[in-house]
């Protein structure tokens, strides 16, 4: 009677049966990641549409910004939340990406997912957006009810400080495209279509430059934002397929 011998597994390689069982364990997380990616895109698109069809906030000037908020308080609050809440969804997407990529490149999957989840989580801890900050609503309320011009000047100065923060490149802003770049490189080795990986690498490089040089290349930052939405949409689609048990790379 002959015995069938199997080739020994290479270092880091997982048996096929174990890989299938492992994928089944993570399907709920894949579905959560897919839903989060869809919500991320929906919120950002809604915020963009709202920005286009409603009176835009001033891009500079503390007094003008506070006056705008006083006149459009509810609109401003909704707009800020549409920009901020997607940070939670993006964080969940990166959490779901780790098990999807770890069998192909454990190191890049771990580092990329950790940086991505932390970067987007920090946007919730430090709530400022490219169009303002929820804290400006409080300053606007105080500015409106101030008794005299000297008190109003204090709130205008505070608003100018927040506006300056919004216009200043930060480490958090640069970390998000770095995470996209790292996870996209890991995608080249399997599990995700190559077009998603290639798009993520190109968008990550553009995003790093755009975030670091935001005051200089505004157009690059806009293109980065558009490509990022396509990448998140593609990632969500692939996570949804993984959540259904489809492992084919297409």
Tell me the three state secondary structure of residue 132.
Answer: strand
Q: What is the mean pLDDT of the chain?
A: 84
- Confidence (pLDDT) at 241: 92
From the list 165, 246, 231, 157, the residue with the least C-alpha distance to 199 is: 231
- Confidence (pLDDT) at 218: 63
Where residue 61 falls (left for φ over 0; alpha for ψ -120 to 50; beta otherwise) is left
Who's near 153: CB < 8 A, 6+ residues apart?
Answer: none
| Degrees, nearest 5: CA angle 64-69-75 | 140
Percent of the chain with pLDDT over 90: 45
Q: What is the pLDDT of residues 113-123, one digit of tens each?
A: 999 999 999 88
- Confidence (pLDDT) at 126: 75
| Cross-strand bridge partners of residue 132 | 129
- Confidence (pLDDT) at 109: 93
What residues of the chain score a pLDDT lower than 70?
Answer: 1-23, 169, 215-220, 246-250
User: Distance of CA 226 to CAs 32, 94, 147, 223, 243, Å?
Assistant: 23, 19, 44, 5, 26
Q: Answer whether 0.85 is exceeded by the pTM.
A: no
What are the start-end ranges of the H helices in the chain? 16-25, 27-53, 62-71, 73-84, 86-101, 106-125, 135-145, 149-166, 171-187, 194-212, 218-243
DSSP 8-state code for residue 4: P
């Amino acid at each position: 009677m002959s015995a069938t011998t199997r080739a020994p597994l290479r270092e880091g390689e997982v048996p096929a049966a174990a890989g299938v069982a492992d994928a089944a364990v993570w399907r709920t997380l894949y579905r959560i990641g897919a839903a989060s990616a869809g919500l991320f895109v929906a919120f950002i698109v809604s915020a963009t549409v709202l920005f286009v069809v409603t009176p835009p906030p001033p891009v500079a000037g503390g007094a003008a910004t506070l006056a705008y908020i006083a006149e459009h308080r509810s609109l401003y609050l909704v707009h800020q939340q549409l920009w901020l809440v997607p940070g939670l969804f993006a964080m969940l997407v990166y959490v779901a990406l780790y098990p999807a990529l770890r069998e192909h490149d454990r190191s890049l999957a771990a580092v990329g997912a950790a940086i991505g989840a932390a970067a987007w989580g920090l946007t919730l801890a430090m709530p400022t957006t490219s169009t303002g900050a929820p804290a400006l609503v409080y300053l606007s309320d105080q500015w409106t009810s101030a008794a005299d011009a000297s008190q109003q000047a204090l709130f205008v100065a505070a608003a100018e400080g927040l506006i300056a923060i919004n216009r200043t490149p930060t480490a958090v802003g640069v970390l998000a495209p770095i995470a996209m770049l790292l996870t996209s490189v890991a995608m080249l080795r399997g599990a995700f279509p190559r077009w998603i990986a290639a798009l993520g690498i190109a968008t990550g490089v553009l995003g790093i430059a755009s975030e670091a040089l935001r005051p200089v290349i505004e157009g690059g930052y806009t293109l980065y934002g558009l490509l990022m939405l396509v990448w998140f949409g593609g990632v969500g689609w692939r996570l949804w397929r993984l959540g259904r048990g489809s492992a084919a790379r297409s």
